[in-house]
Amino acid sequence: MVTLSSVFESSDAVWVGIRIGDDGEELSPRQLIGSVPYAIHATSADEARSASHAGTADVAASLEGFNPSDYAAVASLSAVATTGAFADLTDVPVGLSDGDDDTLGVLICADSQLAVFDAGVGGWVCGEGLFTDLEGVPEGLLDGDDDTLAWLDCGVDQVPVFDGSAWVCGEASSLSAEEATDIVSRLEDLESVTERTGEEGILYGSYYVTNSSELDEIRGYTEITGNLFINNFDVPDLSALSSLTTIGDQLEISNLDQLTDLSGLENLTSVNRLIISENDNLEDVTALASLESIHTLRIQSDPALLEVALPSLEEIHEMDISSNHVLTSISFPILASGAAIEIGGNYDLVLLSIPALLSLSDHLHVGGSLESLMDVDMTSLTTIDAELKILETGLVDLSGFSSLTEVGGNVDITDKESLCQSLIDTFVDGISVGGAADVARGNDDGC
């Protein structure tokens, strides 16, 4: 027996035809039998629409396995859950009602006032924030700074000065830019750690010697790679330096009042800068006779010094020999090149001899309280790239500059009552002057 269900199961498409009577003709067209939309609508979907069916197994399956009790109804949510606004939160502590647990939020202070805790009222108040309001300040900070000089009561233009044992008020002295640079360089050297390691006989770094024991520590070394400062103490000689041949940077010998000569420096051949100053009893520097090369030489304010002679010196960049009041002679017999030379304030100077000097890449200044200077020998000098000054000397002629042909800067030959103006005019006319010539003041016009 053929059933309808078997027909539908065995056929992809089923058509229905209608015939009236056994012999009647089939009406056309046939009608395709299809699914009715209502028939394929899930029963569980209808049931899920109603809360009365929410607990059935079919409904739970339609919610992908979740129990309906796992869901919250919108009506049961607090306002903050839908608005996200801080103002919709409930039960907020008082300290957080402004959005921050800020105990100072209620303070309204004036300009420059600070929040200060007042133990008397047990809370924060507006105050001036004075240092004197602090409690438990260590004694050394009672003046606002741990300053050992705070007790000094100095006058106008006075400065703190250490006298060897304590700080006292003293007079301020001005420093030249060059002196300030030297001090800074010295301090930098002192900050560095000096290591006495490496090749035998070499001291690495810089040394600041202030007593005989420190000086004796250098004994036996042949080279110091940095600076050597020997200042402000009583030492009869420099014999501890007898092995020293080279100093990489500066050698300063100053304020050694017992020193009469530089014995101990006989083997020194090279130093970058040499400063010899304010040694009250220094008379003799002949121990420097082996010195061959030097960048800067300054010999200043040594009141007992009689003669400066460096027979081995071949080159120098800068030379300043000044204010040595009893100095009578300066001699550099083989010095051939240099940059700048300044000679002045040596009241008793009679002789200035640098006969092998060929040129100066900077300036030459000879003068300033040199009325005793009668003899200058720079007979090989041909060119001075910058300025030439010859002032206040005792020269009666300019024969000591007989080879000079060119001065790149100004020429100033004035205040020489011993020198005829006509000789000066002839001298200047014979050289090429790159700047101005000031040669008509204070000279002898009557010869």
The model's pLDDT over 182-194, given as tens digits with 9 standing for 90+, comes to 666 666 554 443 3
* DSSP strand pairing (375-377 vs 351-353): parallel
Q: Is the pTM of this model over 0.75?
A: no
For 397-405, what is the mean pLDDT? 96
pLDDT at 394 over 60: yes
Q: CA 17, CA 31: separation in Å to the nearest integer? A: 7
Place 447 in a pLDDT band, splitting at 50, 70 and 90: confident
Q: Phi and psi of 45, rounded to 5°?
A: -65, -40
Predicted confidence at residue 68, as pLDDT, reads 67
Predicted confidence at residue 40, as pLDDT, reads 46
- The per-residue DSSP string of 279-335 comes to -TT--B-GGGTT--EEEEEEEE--TT--EEE-TT--EEEEEEEE--TT--EEE-TT-
* DSSP strand pairing (411-414 vs 388-393): parallel
- Asked whether the CA dihedral 96, 99, 101, 105 is positive or negative, the reply is negative
pLDDT at 244 over 60: yes
The two structure tokens encoding residue 198? 């490496």
The two structure tokens encoding residue 408? 């790149």
CB distance 143 to 134 below 8 Å = no
Q: CA 38, CA 261: separation in Å to the nearest integer? A: 130
Q: CA 19, CA 52: separation in Å to the nearest integer? A: 49
Closest CA to 244 of 272, 262, 269, 279: 269
The better pLDDT of the pair 132, 346 is held by: 346
Q: Please identify which residue in the block is written with the tokens 């014995």.
A: 263
Cβ–Cβ contacts within 10 Å for residue 401, how many?
21
Q: Which of 42-51, 95-104, 115-124, 354-363 has the lowest mean pLDDT?
A: 42-51
The two structure tokens encoding residue 291? 């010195």
Torsion from C-alpha of 216, 218, 220, 222, nearest 10 degrees: -150
Place 97 in a pLDDT band, splitting at 50, 70 and 90: low
The two structure tokens encoding residue 133? 């309001």
pLDDT at 31 over 70: yes
Q: CA 239, CA 217: separation in Å to the nearest integer? A: 12
Place 19 in a pLDDT band, splitting at 50, 70 and 90: confident
CB distance 257 to 277 below 8 Å = no
Q: CA 421, CA 418: separation in Å to the nearest integer? A: 9
As a whole-number percent, the residues of the chain with pLDDT over 90 amount to 48
Give residues with Cβ within 8 angstroms of 398, minimum separation 6. 390, 413, 419, 423, 424, 427
* CA distances from residue 318 to 125, 159, 414 in whole angstroms, order as listed: 68, 33, 24
pLDDT at 199 over 60: no
Place 117 in a pLDDT band, splitting at 50, 70 and 90: confident
The model's pLDDT over 250-278, given as tens digits with 9 standing for 90+, comes to 999 999 999 999 999 999 999 999 999 99
Predicted confidence at residue 197, as pLDDT, reads 40
The model's pLDDT over 123-145, given as tens digits with 9 standing for 90+, comes to 888 887 676 767 777 776 766 66
